[in-house]
Structure 1
Amino acid sequence: MSHPDAEALQALLGRTARFCRRGQTGDVGTALAAFTDHHVHLHLVDEHALPAHGVAAVVDLGGDPAFFARHPKDGIPHVAYAGAFLTVPGGYPSFESWAPPQIMRIVTSPSNAPGASGGARTLVDEMADAGASVVKIALNRAVGPVFDIATLQAVVDAAHGRSLPVIAHVEGDGMTRLALDAGIDLLAHAPFSEPLDEELIARAVGAGQRWISTLAIHADPAIAISNVTAFTAAGGRVLYGTDLGNGNRPSALDVAELHALHTAGVRGPALIATLTDPWPRPEPETGVATFVPGPPPKGPDGIAAWLGGAVVVPAEELITDGE
């Protein structure tokens, strides 16, 4: 049987948590499965600073596919990516100063013909051939035009035909419903521009849709937190993500995001699960762990601040009692 303290630790933080010490420094603390930030933009941040601040893997949700095709595949942080945003003529983010032309592609037709200029299949194939793990779609009616349902469905079908999930930036009235109607698998942000009713929440949960949190980027996160509270209470699954690169924030684990998730009811083991979910990879990062030195918090209310001291370390460096 596990030591009672170990049992209490796992009750607080989930089954991946274990007491250990670092062989290199002698620091005593807690090891957890490697953390992932599921929404970043690496062309706007220092990716190499992330491991020193607890993040072992990232998912880039809008970048140059040619850059990522050449990016080292075995480094830390491990990088999965969507490649370019797929959008419509005049659509978000084609007019944003932070979005150079190489990080977006304009879909002009629902064509399923391979190689058709501007066709849905052609642009999905480009991302897949560049090694993308997910296809990113922009649905931002708040600032510009968006896909009609036929073209959107063609993009989703083409992505699923390449065994890739589809993630969408949804913003503006009706955009969550449009994403559900088209069978989009994930939302890049927990819906923040409109409160969702019980019917939409139930549809999202029933469809197995997952939401990436990004709660702390909003000046007023009340709508997003309310939607996440309802979604998770109904059985929905949320992934930790920060939209790192949006605003002037350091390349680190975002304690404000963790506090916002806690406020939304994602607490204790559930909070750790949002961080350690390896999506879009099927298995967690191997060879490294996220380590937090010092004693663990006494209860769920202290977890977010405590995690601010996390660092990524080689798994072989961590020693448990009896080793």
Structure 2
Amino acid sequence: MHADPFALRDLLGPAAQVCRGALTGESGVSLPPFTDHHVHLHLIDEHRLADGGLAGVVDLGGDPVELARRGDGIPHVAYAGAFLTRVGGYPSGRGWAPDAIVRTVTDPSQHPGVPGGAATAVDEQASFGASVVKVALNAAVGPVFDPETLDAIVAAARVHGMPVVAHVEGPGMTALALEAGVDVLAHTPFSEVLDASVIARAAASGQRWISTLDIHGGDPVGARTASSNLAAFVAAGGSVLYGTDLGNGDRRVGVLAGELAALDRAGVRGAALVAALCDPWPGASITGVATFIPGPPPASLDDVAAWLGGATVVPSEELIHDDH
């Protein structure tokens, strides 16, 4: 394979390299490891992730005890532990959300050990090795935190140096998260068309949005709303993380072509799309493995999204790089 390394990196980012397999001799392109920044491991077969091109995942709602028992290896797993929510709030009572993955917060107390306290809930997740705190702000189906309690959760997370990610759904929930200093949205907002001022503030604040555009296949209104909001966020300079909410619906366990295509349509293209896949948030970069996409590199920007769907995970030592 012959490819101009400078043109390749313009298209895919600075880490893209033409390479070949040391054992197979197969030519292709290497990229840093890919991560899905929104999954639920208790709903999928994690052993299929690497075969599907994912070296890492971020679990955004699971049993902190079970997550803490996991060993190291591939896929690399960072996690939030349990959802923090109000009594009767989302996702309490849903069949896919057993009691073990939900914690209710009833008191904004910053003192450790207070039953139902904000600090108590955050401290528990941190004690089980969580890297991020997940809060539910779903006014479409139940009660949500008042600003005082949400502020307290964010403050408790800051004590541990942990970012806060929120599921926002329903009118005003994105603005509520923004006012509280929530770092990341677990989904691109899909239940309301956001004002330009809210999007501009979110982008300027450094808030990140996890894409999850492909979950709206059966909801064309939600799909259009999410895509429109994300396009405006990207145009305002906002930062996007690739994420699919794997476990939500019967979908391939791995890199999803539909998510890549939806991101591309929303303006996350080429090197920006690769960056959304390779971002190490919320922790350190994954080492020892790389993404390998066999065959010729994409010929143009329009080809990148579909081409990325051919990703595989290989040990870094098995790749011989041809360009310098």
Given the two structures, how large is their TM-score scaled by the length of structure 1? 0.97
Match of 1:269 in 2: 271
Partners of 1:276 and 1:320 lie apart in 2 by 19
Deviation readout 1:35-70 (Å, 9 max, x if unpaired): 000000000001111111210000000000001111
Match of 2:291 in 1: 290
Match of 2:195 in 1: 197
Q: State the secondary structure of the residue aligned to 1:79.
A: strand
Amino acid at match of 1:155: I
Amino acid at match of 1:85: F
Partners of 1:322 and 1:299 lie apart in 2 by 19
Amino acid at match of 1:280: P
Partners of 1:247 and 1:301 lie apart in 2 by 28
Match of 1:227 in 2: 229
**Alignment partner of 1:135 out of 126, 133, 136:** 133
Q: Tell me the CA shift for residue 113 of structure 1.
A: 1.4
Match of 1:60 in 2: 59
Is the Cα–Cα contact under 8 Å of residues 3 and 18 in structure 2 kept in the other structure?
A: no
Is the Cα–Cα contact under 8 Å of residues 59 and 78 in structure 2 kept in the other structure?
A: yes
* Residue 259 (structure 2) pairs with residue 260 (structure 1): no
Please say which of residues 112-121 and 4-13 is displaced more in the overlay: 4-13
Q: Tell me the CA shift for residue 108 of structure 1.
A: 1.0
Q: State the secondary structure of the residue aligned to 1:278.
A: coil
Q: Tell me the CA shift for residue 106 of structure 1.
A: 0.5
Q: State the secondary structure of the residue aligned to 1:316.
A: helix
Q: State the secondary structure of the residue aligned to 1:53.
A: coil
Partners of 1:164 and 1:322 lie apart in 2 by 39
Match of 1:41 in 2: 40
Is the Cα–Cα contact under 8 Å of residues 17 and 322 in structure 2 kept in the other structure?
A: no
Match of 1:19 in 2: 18
Amino acid at match of 2:42: H
Is the Cα–Cα contact under 8 Å of residues 21 and 318 in structure 2 kept in the other structure?
A: yes
Partners of 1:132 and 1:100 lie apart in 2 by 19
Match of 1:149 in 2: 147
Amino acid at match of 2:174: T
Match of 1:300 in 2: 301
Q: Report how many aligned residue pairs link the two structures.
A: 319
Q: State the secondary structure of the residue aligned to 1:270.
A: helix
Is the Cα–Cα contact under 8 Å of residues 19 and 323 in structure 2 kept in the other structure?
A: no
Partners of 1:309 and 1:236 lie apart in 2 by 27
Give the gaps of 5 or more residues in structure 2. none
Identity of aligned residues (%): 64
Partners of 2:281 and 2:190 lie apart in 1 by 22
Q: Tell me the CA shift for residue 321 of structure 1.
A: 2.5
Q: Tell me the CA shift for residue 300 of structure 1.
A: 1.5
Deviation readout 1:73-94 (Å, 9 max, x if unpaired): x210000000000000000000
Q: Tell me the CA shift for residue 117 of structure 1.
A: 0.5
Partners of 1:137 and 1:148 lie apart in 2 by 12
Partners of 1:181 and 1:322 lie apart in 2 by 47
Partners of 2:248 and 2:312 lie apart in 1 by 23
Partners of 1:308 and 1:235 lie apart in 2 by 25
Q: State the secondary structure of the residue aligned to 2:42.
A: helix
Match of 2:206 in 1: 208
- Taking the TM superposition and a 5 Å limit, the aligned residue runs for 1:169-180 are 169-180=167-178
Partners of 1:4 and 1:25 lie apart in 2 by 20
Is the Cα–Cα contact under 8 Å of residues 188 and 230 in structure 2 kept in the other structure?
A: yes
Given the two structures, how large is their TM-score scaled by the length of structure 2? 0.97
Partners of 1:148 and 1:313 lie apart in 2 by 46
Is the Cα–Cα contact under 8 Å of residues 109 and 118 in structure 2 kept in the other structure?
A: yes
Partners of 2:204 and 2:254 lie apart in 1 by 33
Q: Tell me the CA shift for residue 322 of structure 1.
A: 7.7
Q: Tell me the CA shift for residue 95 of structure 1.
A: 2.0
Match of 2:317 in 1: 316
Report the RMSD for the aligned CA atoms in angstroms: 1.2
Partners of 1:30 and 1:320 lie apart in 2 by 9
Is the Cα–Cα contact under 8 Å of residues 203 and 238 in structure 2 kept in the other structure?
A: yes
Match of 1:251 in 2: 253
Q: Tell me the CA shift for residue 4 of structure 1.
A: 6.8
Moved over 6 A (4+): none
Partners of 1:274 and 1:320 lie apart in 2 by 23
